[in-house]
Amino acid sequence: MVSPAEIREKFRAGLRVPTSGYCPGWTQANLLCLPKEDAYDFLLFAQRNPKSCPVLDVTEPGETSASIFAGDLRTDLPAYRVYRDGELVDERVEVADLWRDDLVSFLIGCSFTFEAALLDAGVPVRHIDAGSNVPMYRTNRECRPAGSLSGPLVVSMRPIPADLVATAVRVTSRYPAVHGAPVHIGSPGLLGIDDLGNPDFGDAVEVRPGEIPVFWACGVTPQAAVMRSRPSFAIGHAPGHMAITDVRDSTFQVP
Amino acid sequence: MVSPAEIREKFRAGLRVPTSGYCPGWTQANLLCLPKEDAYDFLLFAQRNPKSCPVLDVTEPGETSASIFAGDLRTDLPAYRVYRDGELVDERVEVADLWRDDLVSFLIGCSFTFEAALLDAGVPVRHIDAGSNVPMYRTNRECRPAGSLSGPLVVSMRPIPADLVATAVRVTSRYPAVHGAPVHIGSPGLLGIDDLGNPDFGDAVEVRPGEIPVFWACGVTPQAAVMRSRPSFAIGHAPGHMAITDVRDSTFQVP
């Protein structure tokens, strides 16, 4: 089994893949780096939207590693997105040359973390079987704003056989720190999603007869807030290309 | 059954009692009000110490009610403590005349919330039977600091019959937002508590033969950090004299 440190070394060397299915048993995290002047608004936004923004760790300004991530936050994710005034201006495999001493990094729980538990419970995960990225969608649900930050809830979707939906709810609800129970089951139209085949982030997956689309809150929500709210500068992970931390997923399991 | 709004009216009129056992089924909360300039450090302190400082709600600066508390934060708790430069300078039943437009109020989960569930499970709660306040102790465990804030973990203690300790763990672990599972069971000396009969806050209770002292993280921890770290101004609830909110305890229950 490849360790978090070993896979981070491959990412640092340039491997660029979605991380779903990598290092099962280890917690994966979304990344958002903001100037210190925007950090309070974001931490409050996260407190007010805990389903989509469960904060696992926050660095001091300028720090390049975190208490749950011994690697280098600037190089050890497979891919990054760079925003200026809310515009996506670049996607790249490292951001060391863009780093600033005033950047506070937030690590936010990712639903890839509970996929090992889903597989253990006999619930198939389509995008892992397909070797693709999870499909993610902007919804018509507004997050609760905080200071200068507002934006829509973003969700990830997994098609689940109807007789396993309850199992999927039960298993994932034990992991509230990595998005927990689904926010919506079935009826994508009610979330304002017109076409499951055309996700806003990641790759489309097949929804087979007898399968129900199940939606979990997604840690791309902070980046949707950046796009809406336009802080001067931000760095995020590329959707699906997560920080693989040094913390076991069992740490975040509740009874 | 008295509703949260009705009991808050009595507190506003001057009733001054510890709130353990009041309005069972409704969430109780610790209060800390800090100037906006200290709010980021405290929100980060809470994120880094989630067992003792589970944040349930944060107001905008100057707001006198909160999304989970429809009453007036300045008058509707039974008693308050006022700090200047970290010194406790007053304890009083309302703080309306001390209010400032830059005060951010944090509502933090309180273990009184899960006492109804303990009683339902057949676990006796000594300080409720005794009609006294819960005993609380400073420990030798340091919280993880954040910016200007540091301080010791404060715990509450309930003596539990040995054959019910596992039940108490199981029941309370379902409420992580109101301190969740105990942080320590037995052996007060290991927490640096020399004399259970001499609590730092609240009232001593009898520990009978066959009972084990069980310790939960306590929402007085933020006030211990204020005393250590000396922000210019702070208001807290008087220990044990909580904000009774408009949210059912089931809202914070996990599977």
Give the closest of B39, B44, B174 to A255, CB-based.
B174
Average pLDDT over residues B128-151: 97
Does A251 touch chain B if contact means CB atoms closer than 8 Å? no
Write the CA distances from B91 to B79, B239, B241, integer angstroms. Answer: 7, 10, 11
From the list B178, B106, B133, the residue with the least C-alpha distance to B19 is B133
Distance from CA of A34 to the nearest CA of B (A): 14
- Are B101 and B61 spatial neighbours (Cβ–Cβ below 8 Å)? yes
**Contacts across the A-B interface (CB distance below 8 Å):** 35
Give the chain B residue whose CA is nearest to the CA of A146: B60
Rounded-to-integer distance, Cα A222 and Cα A42, Å: 8
Q: Can you tell me the distance from the alpha carbon of B118 to that of B97, in angstroms, rounded to the nearest whole number?
A: 38
pLDDT at B65 over 90: yes
Touching check for A116 and chain B: CB below 8 Å?
A: no
Q: What per-residue confidence (pLDDT) applies to A254? A: 84
pLDDT value for B1: 78
Task: For residues B19-27, give the mean pLDDT.
Answer: 95
Q: Which residues of A touch B59 (CB under 8 A)?
A: none
Provide the pLDDT confidence category of residue A1 given band limits of 50, 70 and 90: confident
Q: What's the CA gap between B161 and B152, in Å, rounded?
A: 28
> How far is the alpha carbon of A232 from chain B, nearest alpha carbon, in Å?
19
- Pick left, alpha or beta for residue A25 (phi over 0 → left; psi -120 to 50 → alpha; otherwise beta): left
Q: Does B251 touch chain A (CB under 8 A)?
A: no
φ, ψ (nearest 5 deg) of residue A203 = -115, 145
User: Is residue A41 classed as helix, strand or coil in its secondary structure?
Assistant: helix
Nearest CB neighbour to B40, from listed A43, A48, A170: A43
Average pLDDT for B194-220: 97
Q: Which are the contacts of B195, defined by CB distance < 8 A and separation ≥ 6?
A: none
Q: Which domains does chain B have, with CATH numbers?
A: 4-111+229-248 (3.40.1640.10), 118-217 (3.30.2040.10)
Predicted ipTM of the assembly: 0.86
Q: What is the 3-state secondary structure (H, E, C) of chain B?
A: CCCHHHHHHHHHCCCCCCCCCCCCCEEEEEEEEEEHHHHHHHHHHHHHCCCCCCEEEECCCCCCCECCECCCCCCCCCCEEEEECCEEEEEECCCHHHCCCCEEEEEEECHHHHHHHHHHCCCCCHHHHHCCCCCEEEEEEECCCECCECCEEEEEEEEEEHHHHHHHHHHHCCCHHHCCCCCEECCHHHHCCCCCCCCCECCCCCCCCCEEEEEEECCCHHHHHHHHHCCCEEEEECCCCCEEEEEEHHHHCCC
Tokens of B167: 């039940």
Q: How confident is the model at residue B115 (pLDDT cuts 50, 70, 90)?
A: very high
Candidates A32, A40, A170, partner chain B, best to mutate (most B CBs within 10 A):
A40
User: Hunting for tokens 């085949």 — which residue is that?
Assistant: A197
CA distance B127 to A212: 50
**Under a CB-based contact definition with an 8 Å cutoff, are residues A105 and A74 in contact?**
no
A43 touches chain B (CB under 8 A): yes
Q: Residue B254: its pLDDT value, please?
A: 84
- Taking an 8 Å cut-off on Cβ atoms, the answer to whether B44 and A48 are in contact is no
What tens digit of pLDDT does each residue of A159-173 get? 999 999 999 999 999
Question: What does the pLDDT read at residue B255?
Answer: 76
Please name the residues in contact with A35: beta carbons below 8 A apart, sequence gap of 6 or more: A100, A102, A103, A104, A231, A232, A233
Comparing CB atoms, the residue among B44, B174, B254 nearest residue A43 is B44
Average pLDDT, chain B: 97
Confidence (pLDDT) at A111:
96
pLDDT, residue A37, reads 97
pLDDT of residue A255: 76
pLDDT at A204: 98
Q: What is the pLDDT of residues A86-136, one digit of tens each?
A: 999 999 999 999 999 999 999 999 999 999 999 999 999 999 999 999 999
User: CB-CB: which of B39, B58, B255 is closest to A170?
Assistant: B255
- Assess whether pLDDT exceeds 80 at residue B241: yes
Q: CA nearest B243: which of B1, B5, B2?
A: B5
Q: Each residue of A31-81: pLDDT tens digit?
A: 999 999 999 999 999 999 999 999 999 999 999 999 999 999 999 999 999
For all residues of chain A together, what is the average pLDDT? Answer: 97
Min Cα distance B118 → chain A (Å) is 16
CB-CB: which of A47, A176, A254 is closest to B43? A47
Instruction: Give tens-digit pLDDT for A129-160.
Output: 999 999 999 999 999 999 999 999 999 999 99
Question: Is A176 in the B-facing interface, judged by CB distances under 8 Å?
Answer: yes
A176 and B43 in contact by Cβ < 8 A?
A: no
Residue A222 pLDDT class (50, 70, 90 cuts): very high
Query: How far, in Å, CA of A248 to CA of A85, rounded?
Result: 36
Give residue A20's pLDDT: 94
- Report H helices in chain A: 4-12, 39-48, 115-120, 126-130, 165-172, 221-229
